[in-house]
C-alpha cells in the first residue's frame, strides 16, 4: 500500500480519535521510515487535539447549562474525554495495523481486526454506561441525555467520515 494511502487512513482516523501512543524506537536501518512515522504520529496527535477542542466547543454551544451546572459538568466531561482517549488509542492502533497489513491481509488477520474493533466499540458503550450516573450526579437527567445525544451525533459523523476513507477489506484482492 502506498504511503499516501496509509497517511489518508491515519489522518482520517484522527478526525475522531484522541492522543496516539508513543512509537518505540526503530532500529538504525529503519530510521528514515521511523522518522516519517513519528512525524505522522505527531501530525495526528495535533489533529486529534484540535478535534477534541472543536467537539468541546460544539457541546458547549448546544448544551444548556447554568453557571453552577457548568462548574460541575466540565470537570466530569474532561475525565470522560480522558477515559475515552484511552479507548480511542486502541482504535488508532487498529487503523494503523489495518493500513500496515493492507494488500497482504490474511483471513485470520481480517477476523482478528474485526473482533478487536468490535471489542473497542463495546468498551465505548461500557464507558458511556459508566458515565451516565456520574454525569447525573452533577446535572439533571435531561441534560445528561442531551449530552450523550450530542456526543453520539458528533461521534457518528466523524466515524462516517472515517469509514468513507478506509477501503473495504476485499478491495485489496
The reported pLDDT for the residue numbered 170 is 82
Is 20 a residue whose pLDDT tops 70?
A: no
Query: pLDDT of 77-132, one tens digit each?
Result: 999 999 999 999 999 899 889 888 888 999 999 999 999 999 999 999 999 999 99
The reported pLDDT for the residue numbered 70 is 97
Q: How many CB atoms lie within 10 A of CB 64?
A: 10
Contacts of 161 (CB under 8 A, 6+ apart): 12, 15, 16
3-state helix, strand, coil in the chain (%, to 5): 80, 0, 20
The reported pLDDT for the residue numbered 52 is 79
How much is the CA Rg of the chain, to the nearest whole Å?
Answer: 18
Residue ranges of domains in the chain: 3-168
The reported pLDDT for the residue numbered 87 is 95
The reported pLDDT for the residue numbered 153 is 93
The reported pLDDT for the residue numbered 135 is 98
d(CA 24, CA 133): 38
Query: pLDDT of 134-173, one tens digit each?
Result: 999 999 999 999 999 999 999 998 888 888 888 888 887 7
d(CA 95, CA 117): 9
How far CA 10 is from CA of 23, 88, 127, 139, in Å, comes to 14, 13, 24, 36
Confidence band for 26, pLDDT divided at 50, 70 and 90: very low
Amino acid at each position: 500500500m502506498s504511503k499516501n494511502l496509509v497517511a489518508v487512513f491515519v489522518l482520517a482516523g484522527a478526525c475522531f480519535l484522541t492522543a496516539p501512543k508513543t512509537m518505540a524506537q526503530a532500529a538504525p536501518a529503519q530510521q528514515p521510515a521511523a522518522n516519517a512515522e513519528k512525524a505522522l504520529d505527531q501530525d495526528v496527535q495535533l489533529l486529534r487535539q484540535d478535534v477534541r477542542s472543536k467537539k468541546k466547543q460544539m457541546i458547549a454551544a448546544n448544551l444548556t447549562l447554568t453557571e453552577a451546572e457548568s462548574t460541575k459538568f466540565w470537570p466530569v466531561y474532561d475525565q470522560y474525554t480522558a477515559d475515552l482517549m484511552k479507548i480511542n488509542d486502541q482504535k488508532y492502533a487498529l487503523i494503523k495495523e489495518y493500513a500496515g497489513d493492507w494488500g497482504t491481509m490474511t483471513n485470520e488477520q481480517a477476523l482478528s481486526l474485526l473482533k478487536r474493533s468490535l471489542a473497542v466499540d463495546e468498551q465505548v458503550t461500557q464507558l458511556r454506561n459508566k458515565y451516565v450516573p456520574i454525569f447525573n450526579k452533577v446535572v439533571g437527567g435531561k441534560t445528561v441525555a442531551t449530552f450523550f445525544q450530542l456526543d453520539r451525533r458528533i461521534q457518528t459523523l466523524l466515524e462516517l467520515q472515517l469509514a468513507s476513507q478506509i477501503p473495504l477489506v476485499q478491495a485489496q484482492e
